[in-house]
Amino acid sequence: MTRFIIQRIIGLVFVMIGVSIITFALSQLVPVDPAAAALGQNAREDQIQAYRHELGLDQPALVQYATYINRLLHGDLGTSIRTRRPVRDDLRDFLPATIELSLAAMIVALIFGIALGIVAAINRNGILDALARGLALVGGSLPIFFLGLLLLAIFYSRLRWLPGPGRLDAVMQPPARVTGMYTIDSLLAGNWATFKNSLWHLILPALTLGYYSTAMILRMTRSSMLEVLHQDYMRTARAKGLTEQVVILRHGLRNAMTPVLTTVGITFGSLLSGAVLTETIFGWPGLGRYATASAVSLDFPAVMGVTLVAAIVYPVANMLVDIGYHFLDPQVRLS
């Protein structure tokens, strides 16, 4: 186990070196001079040159990369051209909103995906199965940004059941920062009203972002359950006189979970991509919106920071999934 984790962490270090090379190469591709962009239109040529020198932009690419890595190792992600703040501070402000949203989306996806997947498998080829499969097909085919707009139009603009964009109502104060996730922080502060409000704000974005993952988890749960349902041990469990519920949930679901877990790991990566679109629509001040705004204004220190951080999430999520396997099914060797 320890050896496995060490191996994966070494692998992760290699991946991060590669990621840093790619993000750096991208920043070299940008046709706009970052120094000129930072100083604005009225800057004189000599001022731009001086600033280029200050930023080290007049150095050869290799030297610039070495400087970049050296700064990274000291935890310095550079300064954003757009917000004029250290990228690290920006990320610390924006990342928790995205983590909160992604976790909420994953909870939505796990609950609906697994429940509907089981229902579909038990009612194979029945009406419920057809409905669940239709839902999965639409989930994998509907543009997520349209789904968000639609949900907002229905539940906010028309019905007024749920709040509009943002993480909290404008009149609400964010809770004192502990994790940066409003739902958790407000609970920690014992502030029930803020908790309710932030949870309410979370529903539509989480449903939007979670729909695709729901579809994938549903499909995988269904097919995995179908395979398991006909196994001998299921018949044995029924023969023992166990209730159908126990047979399906304890004997069936547990054995069907391994491929589902893989799907969770894979869709976690897609959550971050989806977050870019979801956050844009719901005015959610997270990593995705920060990345979009930074990329629009060619603020490459910020873009590089976001890509770097985002690229850590997926390998780490997959490592956790692999470790999860081990607990779910000790027969699975970690290698």
Cβ atoms 69, 20 nearer than 8 A = yes
Whose tokens are 């705004």? That residue is: 293
Could you say whether residue 292 binds another protein (CB under 8 A)? yes
Which stretch in 49-57, 76-84, 194-202, 286-294 sits in contact with another protein by CB under 8 A? 286-294
Distance in Å, CB of 17 to another protein, minimum? 8
By CB under 8 A, name the one of 106, 218, 272, 319 that touches another protein: 272
Could you say whether residue 140 binds another protein (CB under 8 A)? yes
Q: Which two tokens stand for residue 137?
A: 């097909």
Distance in Å, CB of 210 to another protein, minimum? 16
x/- string (CB under 8 A) for another protein, residues 69-108?
----------------------------------------
By CB under 8 A, name the one of 38, 87, 91, 144 that touches another protein: 144
x/- string (CB under 8 A) for another protein, residues 31-50?
x-------------------
**Cα 253–chain centre separation:** 26
Cβ atoms 97, 318 nearer than 8 A = no
Tell me which residues in 212-271 interact with another protein (CB under 8 A).
219, 223, 226, 269-270
How many binding residues for another protein (CB under 8 A)? 56
Could you say whether residue 27 binds another protein (CB under 8 A)? yes
Whose tokens are 């539940």? That residue is: 155
Could you say whether residue 119 binds another protein (CB under 8 A)? no
Could you say whether residue 298 binds another protein (CB under 8 A)? yes
Q: Which of residues 195 and 290 has its CB atom nearest to another protein in the complex? A: 290
By CB under 8 A, name the one of 2, 141, 245, 335 that touches another protein: 141
Cβ atoms 106, 269 nearer than 8 A = no
By CB under 8 A, name the one of 30, 63, 178, 193 that touches another protein: 30
Could you say whether residue 123 binds another protein (CB under 8 A)? no
Distance in Å, CB of 129 to another protein, minimum? 11
Q: Which amino acid is at 93?
A: D
Distance in Å, CB of 157 to another protein, minimum? 4
Could you say whether residue 283 binds another protein (CB under 8 A)? no
Helix-helix angle 87-122:254-282, to 10 degrees:
130
x/- string (CB under 8 A) for another protein, residues 304-323?
x-xx--xxxxxx--------
**Cα 47–chain centre separation:** 41
Q: Which two tokens stand for residue 309?
A: 């951080």
Binding site for another protein (CB under 8 A): 11, 14-15, 18-19, 22-23, 26-27, 29-31, 137-138, 140-146, 149-150, 152-153, 157-158, 219, 223, 226, 269-270, 272-274, 276-277, 280-281, 288, 291-292, 295-296, 298, 300, 303-304, 306-307, 310-315
